[in-house]
Structure 1
Amino acid sequence: MSKSFDSYQKRRLRSSYFSVVVSIALVLFLVGVLGLIVLKSTKVANTVKEKVAMTLFLKDEVSNEKIFTFKESLKKEIFTKKVIYISKEKAAKQYSKEIGEDFLKFLGKNPLKNGIDIYIKADFVTPEKMQELETRFLKNAFVADVSYDKPLINLLTKNIQRISFWLLIISGFFGLVAMVLINSSIRLSIHSKRFNIKTMQMVGATKNFIRKPFIVQSIKLGMIGAFIAFLGLAVIIFYVDKYIPSLELIKDYITIIYLVAGVLLSAILITWVSTFFATQRFLNLQTDELYY
């Protein structure tokens, strides 16, 4: 009878562990997918921002030597991503190609100015910061005029803020769901050992001593669940990279490192917190309350 009961308890324990691992794996997989969307959307948004150029039209009397010095100084600015100098001769050729005829033949002279295209780093591509840069450059003795696409900057900023807000809301919701699901699974697994917990407590074991093996076991299960989640995420990354190669997911090692670190940290943190409070609950129960 005793052997049969022990066998039943072991099967029940294995079933409990299995459900915990499955719950953790599913939740971490969903968290990983959401994290991938958040990380990649941020990078895509930054890439789009950094394609926006601010053009500085230079005064005609500025010499080539001064233009070179000015261009080199712009490269050292903290807001600069890339600097491209376009002479008025090159600009005239490009414009003639666009309109399909040589406009210089009609005008007799080149009305265009030498220009410098500054591609701004994503953190500085906001309406306020771009306006500050415009004001600063207009005060420069070499600059005749400044041009950039203000409506596009406003539209980009507005849409990115809206998307970021909803991603934050969804991330918070998924984080709460993850905590609830994993906490429920871990609590059920600990519930089957509540009498062991109380027995150890009655013979003088401290709460930390009783709690430690449960936390270690839960973290191990969390690591197994994280490994399973990684397998699922690897499949997602492979197929997304296959059908949307422009995202370059597989080559984006920084995003993958952040994703792996985030999932592992979530696995450790959620299992640790859930196990701590689950064991604390049973440690605080009276003996007669264990039957309810």
Structure 2
Amino acid sequence: MISKFDRFQKRRLISSYFSVVLSIFLMLFLLGVLGLFVINSKNLTNDFKETVPLTVYFKDEAQDSTHTAFREELRTAPWVKDFAFVSKEQAAELHQKEIGENFMEFLGINPLLNSYDIHLRAPYVVNDSIEKIQSHLRENPMLADAYYDKQLVTMVNDNVEKVSMWVLIISGILALIAVLLINSSMRLSIHSNRFIIKTMQMVGATKSFIRRPFIWRSIRLGIIGAVLAVIALIGLLYYLDTNYPGLGVMRDQIMTGAVLLGVLLAGILITWISTFIATQRFLNLRTDDLY
């Protein structure tokens, strides 16, 4: 018959395991959310960069063959994400809507030019790259001008660098906090077994033999916490992708999978290292120092 003391010890042991798994789960979930935010913030930044247009204007005397050849060049250019042709008539209509009056009535002509709005791929949305592209395009004798908002591009890149730096700093701080908290939970778990560790050592058990069961138990708890964190992260991704598809959280599936795998490996690695250090500490203590 199980005594009240045995039942109490069993409940305390289960409570201890539960608190360790819960702390591991919460910290790894936080790290996973942070990792997903980092990779998706880069995607959102690239999306914003790719909305900045490079507008190319053609002279009126440019023939259809010139436009056809130019479109073919854009389709094969590695720096082009997409492009759209805007005729001078379409440009006049847009201009009329913006200013609220028909400027051609008192001018008598349409002074606007046929143009292309070219959206560049994110790596090329820097002033040096765009200026090289401008110089290349201006070699076309039928080109009237190639224009982009230089100030906007400068501001976007400067802000992206600042935000990226702060995200990395905050990520590093939170990652360190998560590791310390998990390490603290594992140390508390080992602390309750310090007398067992010392007793095994006193009867002649080697340090590696004593450490082994504690490390394997901690790794199992770490795997449970990590698996729960991965399941929660998958649920979060599914929710965001279903309700906010514009965020594109599942766009980069390789990096998303790498974050989930990293969470699982972190759960194993952190618990293994923490348990090894904690058990080693108690193995090196004198018996009097255990109290």
The bucket for the TM-score relative to the shorter chain is: 0.7 to 0.9
Amino acid at match of 2:84: I
Per-residue CA distance 1:70-96 (angstroms, 9 max, x = gap): 222222222221122223333234334
> In structure 1, what is the equivalent of residue 287 of structure 2?
288
Is 1:84 aligned to 2:107, yes or no?
A: no
> In structure 1, what is the equivalent of residue 154 of structure 2?
154
Identity over aligned pairs, percent = 45
* 1:6-21 equivalence runs, <5 A: 9-21=9-21
Amino acid at match of 1:166: W
Contact 1:16 1:188 in 2 (8 A): no
Per-residue CA distance 1:251-277 (angstroms, 9 max, x = gap): 657375455334323323322332233
TM-superposed CA distance for 1:280, in Å, is: 3.5
- Where 2:94 maps in the other structure, the secondary structure is helix
* 1:19-98 equivalence runs, <5 A: 19-98=19-98
Per-residue CA distance 1:101-154 (angstroms, 9 max, x = gap): 443444344322222211112222233333333333334444321111222222
TM-superposed CA distance for 1:171, in Å, is: 0.9
TM-superposed CA distance for 1:49, in Å, is: 1.3
Contact 2:56 2:117 in 1 (8 A): yes
Counterpart Cα distance in 2 of 1:96 and 1:241: 39
Contact 2:195 2:290 in 1 (8 A): no
TM-superposed CA distance for 1:279, in Å, is: 3.2
> In structure 1, what is the equivalent of residue 117 of structure 2?
117
CA change 1:274–1:149 in 2 (3 A) is same
**RMSD of aligned Cα (Å):** 3.4
Q: How many residues align?
A: 288
Contact 2:88 2:110 in 1 (8 A): yes
Q: Which runs of 5+ in 2 are unaligned?
A: none
Contact 1:62 1:142 in 2 (8 A): yes
> In structure 1, what is the equivalent of residue 223 of structure 2?
223
Contact 2:28 2:263 in 1 (8 A): yes
* 1:175-194 equivalence runs, <5 A: 175-194=175-194
Q: Which stretch of the first structure deviates more once superposed, 188-197 or 109-118? A: 188-197
TM-superposed CA distance for 1:210, in Å, is: 4.8
CA change 1:83–1:211 in 2 (3 A) is farther
Counterpart Cα distance in 2 of 1:276 and 1:182: 13
Contact 1:201 1:210 in 2 (8 A): no
Is 1:275 aligned to 2:275, yes or no?
A: yes
Contact 2:215 2:276 in 1 (8 A): yes
TM-superposed CA distance for 1:14, in Å, is: 2.6
> In structure 1, what is the equivalent of residue 145 of structure 2?
145
Counterpart Cα distance in 2 of 1:31 and 1:48: 26
> In structure 1, what is the equivalent of residue 264 of structure 2?
264
> In structure 2, what is the equivalent of residue 107 of structure 1?
107
Counterpart Cα distance in 2 of 1:216 and 1:69: 67
Task: Return the TM-score normalized by structure 1.
Answer: 0.80
Amino acid at match of 2:290: Y
Is 1:173 aligned to 2:173, yes or no?
A: yes
CA change 1:244–1:282 in 2 (3 A) is same
- Where 2:117 maps in the other structure, the secondary structure is strand
Q: Which runs of 5+ in 1 are unaligned?
A: none
Contact 1:71 1:85 in 2 (8 A): no
CA change 1:115–1:289 in 2 (3 A) is farther
Amino acid at match of 2:218: S
Contact 2:85 2:115 in 1 (8 A): yes
CA change 1:133–1:289 in 2 (3 A) is farther
Contact 2:194 2:290 in 1 (8 A): no
